[in-house]
Amino acid sequence: MVFGVVVAVWYSRGMEKVNLRTKFELFSEHWKPKVVGELNGQHVKLVKFQGEFVWHDHKEEDEMFLEVRGSFRMEFRDRTVELREGEFLIVPRGVEHRPVAEEEVAVMLFEPAGIKHTGDVESELTVRKIEWV
Which residues form the interface with Ni ion (CB under 5 A)?
A: 63
Q: Least distance from C-beta 95 to Ni ion, angstroms?
A: 9
Q: Least distance from C-beta 92 to Ni ion, angstroms?
A: 11
By beta carbon distance, the residue nearest Ni ion is 63
Is 24 or 49 the residue whose CB approaches Ni ion more closely?
Answer: 49
Closest C-alpha among 92, 42, 34, 98 to residue 68: 34
Is 11 or 101 the residue whose CB approaches Ni ion more closely?
Answer: 101
Is 20 or 64 the residue whose CB approaches Ni ion more closely?
Answer: 64
Q: Least distance from C-beta 90 to Ni ion, angstroms?
A: 11
Q: Which residues in 1-132 belong to E strands, given as ranges?
A: 34-39, 42-52, 63-69, 72-76, 80-83, 88-91, 97-112, 131-132
Is 24 or 118 the residue whose CB approaches Ni ion more closely?
Answer: 118
Helix (H), strand (E) at residue 12 = helix 2-15
Helix (H), strand (E) at residue 122 = none
Q: Least distance from C-beta 10 to Ni ion, angstroms?
A: 29
Give dist(CA 95, CA 130) in Å, integer: 23
Please state the length of the chain.
133
